[in-house]
Amino acid sequence: MKPTDFAKHVSEYFSVYLPGQRGLSANTIRSYRDTFCLLLEFCQTEKNIKIEKFSLSQFNKELVEDYLTWLENERKCSASTRNQRLSAIHAFCRYLISESPEMLLSCQRVLSIKLKRCAKPQIRFLSAEEISEILSKPDSSDRYGRRDLTILCLLYDTGARVSELINIRVKDVRFDDFPVVKLTGKGQKTRAVPLMSKTAEHLKNYILENKLVLPEKADNYLFTNHQNHQLTRAGITYILQKYSAKDKITPHILRHTKAMHLLQAGINIVYIRDILGHVDISTTETYVRADTEMKREALEKVYKDLTPNAVSLWNNDSNLMDWLHSLS
């Protein structure tokens, strides 16, 4: 059977454009893929459209709107998840316009579908005491305990995304006058993040213990599991939660924690942006807003019973003289 124009464009979009020209991470591409898998499932089950016959002429604003409604009503997706799916479709439409100009009008109509307003989740981060407690848990007398401690120290010290951590290779670590680790972030962009002396010491001992100093090991992944395979995202999350007293502590919470601790220590927001690998400083400013909100709440608690109530304003329905007397 001859592939449809929709199948052709989707195939090239995922196999060539996203990983090649856009340089997106495998995790982001998986998220985009899930969006289209769900779209095809919707077309088949709700619209009785055979997947193998689905064409670009059927890909329009009305279909996408119905798909988004289905996500929320039938699959019980949140507004945030609905927005993520729509953003993935918008990205495909922009690609489609450049590849098939005849789809310009149809794609513009899809692009006119707006994201829903939704409450931004509060940034969750740990206190210095909570971080210290987690780092005190791994068993330093055990080989894998020492590995886990090194992972946790590096995760917090660098503020790395979990995908960046698991992709560190031995050659990415340098112990010169100023120890640094090279992280490869979104869009395959690299950055060098300085290491604090204690983290550098743990990392150096880990490399020596596992004989990773040998030249032939330079391209090896820095952290591996019991089968000597690259650690996965789930593996890192498991290690973190194993030593955490709180539920659902994720590697990204350690990234938030590092950002907030740097901010509270008075580090310039530009440096924080560079350490975290944010492309746009407005992303980093999220932490500034969170810190400001925390300070405001703290001040309100301190001054809650000290500040007098505001004076009520006179309006036309009240007696002026009575209102004036009420001010005494």
Q: Which of 163-172, 186-195, 214-223 has the lowest average pLDDT?
A: 186-195
Asked if residue 217 and residue 135 are part of one domain, the reply reads yes
- Going by C-beta distance under 8 Å and a sequence separation of 6 or more, which residues neighbour residue 60? 106, 109, 110
Q: Which of 243-252, 262-271, 282-291 has the lowest average pLDDT?
A: 282-291
Q: Report the distance separating Cα 239 and Cα 148, nearest Å.
A: 7
Mean pLDDT of 244-272: 83
More confident residue, 321 or 174: 174
Total domain count, the chain: 2
The answer to whether position 167 is within a domain reads: yes
Grade residue 278 by pLDDT with cuts at 50, 70 and 90. Answer: confident
The answer to whether position 314 is within a domain reads: no
Q: Which amino acid is at 322?
A: D
Mean pLDDT of 50-71: 95
Asked if residue 95 and residue 165 are part of one domain, the reply reads no
The answer to whether position 30 is within a domain reads: yes
Confidence at residue 190, expressed as pLDDT on a 0 to 100 scale: 87
The answer to whether position 117 is within a domain reads: no
Grade residue 302 by pLDDT with cuts at 50, 70 and 90. Answer: very low
Q: Which residue has the tokens 């006058």?
A: 177
Q: What is the CATH number of the domain that holds 207?
A: 1.10.443.10
Residue 94 has pLDDT above 90, yes or no: yes
Asked if residue 213 and residue 266 are part of one domain, the reply reads yes
Q: Report the distance separating Cα 37 and Cα 29, nearest Å.
A: 12
Q: At 112, phi and psi to the nearest 5? A: -80, -10
In tens, the pLDDT along 21-59 reads 787 777 788 899 999 999 999 999 999 999 999 999 999
Q: What is the CATH number of the domain that holds 65?
A: 1.10.150
Confidence at residue 260, expressed as pLDDT on a 0 to 100 scale: 86
- Going by C-beta distance under 8 Å and a sequence separation of 6 or more, which residues neighbour residue 299? none
Contacts of range 95-103, beta carbons closer than 8 Å, 24 or more positions apart: 95/9, 95/13, 95/17, 96/9, 96/56, 99/9, 99/12, 100/5, 100/9, 100/56, 103/56
Asked if residue 45 and residue 132 are part of one domain, the reply reads no
Q: Which amino acid is at 96?
A: L
Catalytic residues: 161, 186, 252, 255, 278, 287
214 lies in which domain range?
A: 128-300
Confidence at residue 244, expressed as pLDDT on a 0 to 100 scale: 85
Nearest Cα neighbor of 4 from 58, 55, 69 is 55
Mean pLDDT of 87-108: 95
Q: Which of 60-69, 105-114, 247-256, 271-280 has the lowest average pLDDT?
A: 271-280
For the chain, what is the mean pLDDT?
A: 85
Asked if residue 40 and residue 171 are part of one domain, the reply reads no
State the alpha helices, DSSP H only, in the chain. Answer: 5-12, 26-46, 61-73, 79-99, 104-111, 128-135, 143-158, 162-166, 197-209, 233-242, 251-264, 269-276, 281-303, 320-325
